[in-house]
């Protein structure tokens, strides 16, 4: 079979010859008891750079020794891109949320052999799920592999925004010692009201990690948490997003992107937020209206916006979020730390082993199966597609 793998570019200076840490901490299981990926074997050292083109998710030896073809590229956008040419006869396509290959309805129509789309990570909104269902293509992802990585990133972003770290770091880099300038927008997070839109693995973990900061915790989710969890964290449940954002100083967005959440944070909802609030978005960029976010930062309705996600990805060089005030944007790195890469590479290998051997793929990895939302997909997504506009990714030019 032919496996097409779309990964982000190698480091500008070439692949690392060594790494800061010689080994990763050993994890036995995820917090809810779910087992970590369980491939029969791996052909890489955990902690290596695996998510880029030369890293190949550690798959080449495994695939080629079993008679399969592996094509790896970062060229995924625009007319005549390599990914489009190779997709035509591919049986499996693998892509990461950080450098997504937008598997649109049109691309799926041209991929007559395609049987499965694998997300090396979590979040499969870059696949037109409706088109996948209509064409009998299964969609799977490595659920939970980088959820805790993202939750750590959320905590980092909340503290960085509220303390105005980015501005203070800039002053030092510019040779200054302007303390008044450095602290005129800096606050303590203690006593603030912190809320998450969706309290799944990432959202709930972020709340747990914030609890020691002596803050008030809130959440909105269409699936209410058990009473025991609410009591443990002293959580306030909200029946609507509007109720949550009206009282929170910091809102972290952790829901999947699908037609119901696309542009959820528009000008109307942002204006219902507490004036001067902060937004941290590590979910998907398209959940927020880009112009509305920039306008709210300009007016002071928002004090800060830290997003790890954009739409499309990579973001065009002139994307307004690159230059708006009081932002803490990163290029979707929260879930692709070297620690996370080791787990999602192992998860992809586990999925492929099952696929080639005709064995069931874990239900928790399943998004679409046999023409319907299934497993995690049935719990987290709605039918339809959120890939429209993804062609704008071709506007990004490497610097």
Indicate which residue of 96, 301, 313, 341 is catalytic: 313
Query: What number of other Cβ atoms are within 10 A of residue 159's Cβ?
Result: 15
Quick one: pLDDT at residue 259? 83
Closest among 187, 183, 102 to 386, alpha carbons compared: 102
Indicate which residue of 96, 146, 168, 341 is catalytic: 146
Closest among 101, 152, 204, 124 to 335, alpha carbons compared: 152
Buried b (16+ CB within 10 A) or exposed e, 181-195: ebeeeebebeebbbb
Q: How far apart are CA 331 and CA 317, in angstroms?
A: 12
DSSP 111: -
Quick one: pLDDT at residue 393? 76
pLDDT in tens, 45-73: 999 999 999 999 999 999 999 999 999 99
Measured CA distances, 236 to 243, 263, 269, 312 (Å):
11, 25, 20, 34
Indicate which residue of 238, 332, 343, 362 is catalytic: 332
- Provide the pairing of β-strand 2-6 with 92-95: parallel
Closest among 212, 202, 206 to 158, alpha carbons compared: 206
Quick one: pLDDT at residue 235? 98
Quick one: pLDDT at residue 282? 96
Quick one: pLDDT at residue 2? 98
Residue 130: in which H helix or E strand, if any? helix 129-134
Distance of CA 90 to the CA centre of its chain: 25
Quick one: pLDDT at residue 61? 98
Indicate which residue of 107, 148, 153, 284 is catalytic: 284
Domain ranges in the chain? 2-145+336-373+391-395, 147-322
Residues of the chain with pLDDT under 50: none
User: Is position 332 annotated as part of the catalytic site?
Assistant: yes
Quick one: pLDDT at residue 397? 80
User: Is position 166 annotated as part of the catalytic site?
Assistant: no
Give bridge partners of residue 277 from the DSSP assignment.
Answer: 302
Residue 39 CB-half CA count within 13 A = 22
Q: How far apart are CA 246 and CA 350, in angstroms?
A: 44
Query: What number of other Cβ atoms are within 10 A of residue 380's Cβ?
Result: 20
> What dihedral do alpha carbons 305, 398, 317, 285 form, nearest 10°?
-40
Quick one: pLDDT at residue 392? 77
**What is the token pair recorded at 229?**
């969890």
Q: How far apart are CA 260 and CA 381, in angstroms?
A: 9
Could you check whether the bond before residue 321 is cis, i.e. omega within 30 degrees of 0? no
Protein fold of 2-145+336-373+391-395: Rossmann fold (3.40.50)
Quick one: pLDDT at residue 260? 87
pLDDT above 90 covers a percentage of the chain that reads 91
Helices marked H in the chain = 60-65, 82-87, 105-109, 129-134, 147-162, 165-173, 179-183, 201-210, 227-233, 241-245, 267-270, 290-299, 338-357, 376-380
Contact 194, 210 (CB under 8 A): yes
User: Is position 313 annotated as part of the catalytic site?
Assistant: yes
Quick one: pLDDT at residue 387? 77
Per CATH, the number for 147-322 is: 3.40.50.720
Do the domains 2-145+336-373+391-395 and 147-322 sit in the same CATH topology, yes or no? yes
Contact 298, 325 (CB under 8 A): yes
């Amino acid at each position: 079979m032919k496996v097409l793998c779309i990964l982000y570019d190698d480091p500008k200076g070439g692949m690392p010859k060594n790494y800061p840490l010689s080994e990763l901490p050993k994890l036995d299981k995820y917090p809810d008891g779910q087992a970590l990926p369980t491939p029969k074997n791996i052909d890489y050292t955990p902690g290596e750079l695996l998510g880029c083109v030369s890293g190949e998710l550690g798959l080449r030896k495994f695939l080629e020794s079993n008679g399969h073809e592996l094509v790896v590229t970062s060229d995924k956008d625009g007319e005549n891109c390599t990914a489009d040419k190779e997709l035509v006869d591919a049986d499996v396509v693998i892509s990461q949320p950080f450098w997504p290959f937008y598997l649109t309805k049109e691309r799926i129509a041209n991929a007559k052999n395609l049987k499965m789309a694998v997300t090396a990570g979590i979040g499969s909104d870059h696949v037109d799920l409706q088109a996948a269902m209509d064409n009998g293509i299964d969609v799977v992802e490595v659920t939970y592999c980088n959820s805790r990585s993202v939750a750590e990133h959320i905590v980092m972003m909340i503290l960085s925004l509220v303390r105005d770290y980015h501005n203070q770091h800039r002053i030092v880099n510019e040779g200054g010692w302007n303390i008044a300038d450095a602290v005129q927008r800096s606050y303590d997070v203690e006593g603030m009201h912190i809320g998450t839109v969706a309290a799944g693995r990432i959202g709930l973990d972020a709340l747990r990690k914030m609890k020691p900061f002596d803050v008030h915790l809130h959440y909105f989710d269409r699936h209410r948490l058990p009473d025991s969890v609410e009591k443990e964290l002293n959580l306030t449940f909200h029946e609507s997003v509007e109720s949550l954002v009206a009282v929170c100083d910091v809102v972290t967005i952790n829901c999947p992107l699908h037609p119901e959440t696309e542009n959820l944070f528009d000008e109307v909802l942002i204006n219902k937020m507490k004036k001067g609030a902060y937004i941290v978005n590590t979910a998907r960029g398209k959940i927020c209206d880009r112009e509305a976010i920039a306008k709210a930062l300009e007016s002071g309705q928002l004090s800060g916006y830290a997003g790890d996600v954009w739409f499309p990805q990579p973001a065009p060089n002139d994307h307004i979020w690159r230059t708006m005030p009081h932002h803490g944007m990163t290029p979707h790195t929260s879930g692709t730390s070297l620690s996370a890469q080791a787990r999602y590479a192992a998860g992809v290998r586990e999925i492929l082993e099952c696929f080639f051997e005709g064995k069931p793929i874990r239900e928790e990895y399943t998004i679409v199966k046999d023409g319907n939302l299934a497993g995690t997909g049935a719990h987290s997504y709605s039918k339809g597609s959120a890939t429209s506009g993804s062609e704008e990714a071709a506007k990004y030019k490497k610097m």
